Amino acid sequence: MAIFAAGYPASIAIACDAGEPGAAIEETVTAGGSSLAGAFSAPAYYGAGDGPQSVAVGDFNADGKPDLALTNQFTLAPNRNGVSILLNNGAGGFSGPTFYNLGSRLPEGVAVGDFNGDNKLDLASANGGALDSVAVLLGNGDGTFSAPVYIPVSGNLYSVAVGEFNGDSKLDLAAAGDGGVAVLLGNGDGTFSAPTIFGAGSAPRSVGIDDLNVDGKPDLTVANFLSDDVSVLLGVGGGSFTGPYSFNAGSRPNSIAVGDFNVDGRPDLATANANSNDVTVLLTAAPRCRSRSHPPRCPVAPPAHPTARPSPPAAAPRLTALPSPRARCRRA
């Protein structure tokens, strides 16, 4: 486990440029956030409503320019809780915001996907407070959205992610909250099934999706705020998951992201840790290969690390997966 210092990080994201991965830490400038000299132009500021919590990117009006969606949270005035849309003007700037009210719900995370198959991007927000729910706003394709539809999910939600968990080519949702990870299977028409809850660590704050064991089935990664660890839930198909398997993180991990940090073709994990003021990086263990097949098929353990603690120890699965093209295997 590698630790990288950062002042009170609240969020982490992975970006790729010409195939090279990188990480970005989102901080509040007034709280002493740091910057990378020479890496970016001077910041430009755009109104985004009260208390922005999370941001997602998508082309909401089909003009080929990436737009922004943000969640807003202002507990003193419920009519100011909602989602703001800022449309790209094509010159690096944004218009708006256009605000969609979520009432007394407290929106945290936001995610983008085409939930009803009309080739227009839709939104999902994870909402906490007294009315825990996932809100779905279907896009009209012109930068506007329909009124939100709410799916009750208990557990004070903080994060939502989009994936496809049951092989039906319809987008599904995973939401992290105090009650665990809720999986909502999409019906393909913008509606979702009732949530199925999967256990994680204590106080899940952020959920990510990737195929960690390269078996063709998406897995879930969860940053757990109070247990100071990461949970991995391995997908088994049909919208179900095994685990959780637990891995140490820093103190109070708030956000999680997946990326190939050592360019070995395998996804790695990073968490932003609010209390220890640092970033934890967990590198996926290298496969051990003994195969004559081409391409070689190598047994790969779930994401592992010398400090990892499987939970429960005896239940850690061993899965067969295709390694990266860079992996070299000796003949048995």
* pLDDT (tens digit per residue) in 294-329: 333 433 444 444 334 443 333 343 322 223 333 333
Determine the Cα–Cα distance for residues 29 and 35; give it in Å rounded to an integer. 9
pLDDT of amino acid 34: 44
Determine the Cα–Cα distance for residues 119 and 113; give it in Å rounded to an integer. 9
pLDDT of amino acid 286: 61
Per-residue model confidence as pLDDT tens digits over 189-200: 999 999 999 999
Percent of the chain whose pLDDT exceeds 90:
64
Residue 229 reports pLDDT greater than 90: yes
| Mean of all residue pLDDT scores within the chain | 80
Determine the Cα–Cα distance for residues 49 and 10; give it in Å rounded to an integer. 19
- 213 or 5, which is more confident? 213
List beta partners, residue 47: none
Rounded mean pLDDT, 5-21: 44
| Of 8-17, 197-206, 287-296, 312-321, minimum mean pLDDT range | 312-321
Which residues are CB-contacts of 119 (< 8 A; sequence separation ≥ 6)?
141
Determine the Cα–Cα distance for residues 244 and 316; give it in Å rounded to an integer. 9
pLDDT of amino acid 111: 98
Instruction: Name the burial class of residue 118, with classes exposed (0-12), middle (13-18) and buried (19+) by CB atoms within 10 angstroms of its CB.
Output: middle
Which of 26-35, 89-98, 138-147, 288-297 is modeled with the greatest confidence?
Answer: 138-147
Q: Could you tell me the two tokens for 84?
A: 């703001």
How distant, in Å, are the alpha carbons of 70, 118, 137 from that of 140?
Answer: 18, 9, 9
pLDDT of amino acid 151: 97
pLDDT of amino acid 187: 98
Residue 171 reports pLDDT greater than 80: yes
- 290 or 112, which is more confident? 112
How distant, in Å, are the alpha carbons of 155, 156, 173, 205, 228 from that of 179?
Answer: 4, 7, 16, 10, 16
Rounded mean pLDDT, 263-283: 94
Per-residue model confidence as pLDDT tens digits over 114-153: 999 999 999 999 999 888 999 999 999 999 999 999 999 9
pLDDT of amino acid 31: 30
pLDDT of amino acid 39: 65
- 47 or 236, which is more confident? 236
How distant, in Å, are the alpha carbons of 32, 53, 223, 231, 314 from that of 228?
Answer: 24, 22, 8, 10, 22
Residue 223 reports pLDDT greater than 60: yes
Residue 248 reports pLDDT greater than 70: yes
pLDDT of amino acid 11: 52
Looking only at the bridges linking them, the beta strands covering 52-58 and 122-128 are unpaired
Which residues are CB-contacts of 259 (< 8 A; sequence separation ≥ 6)?
14, 16, 21, 22, 23, 267, 268, 270
pLDDT of amino acid 159: 97
- 326 or 108, which is more confident? 108
pLDDT of amino acid 288: 43
> Which pLDDT band holds residue 49 (cuts at 50, 70, 90)?
confident
Rounded mean pLDDT, 25-44: 50
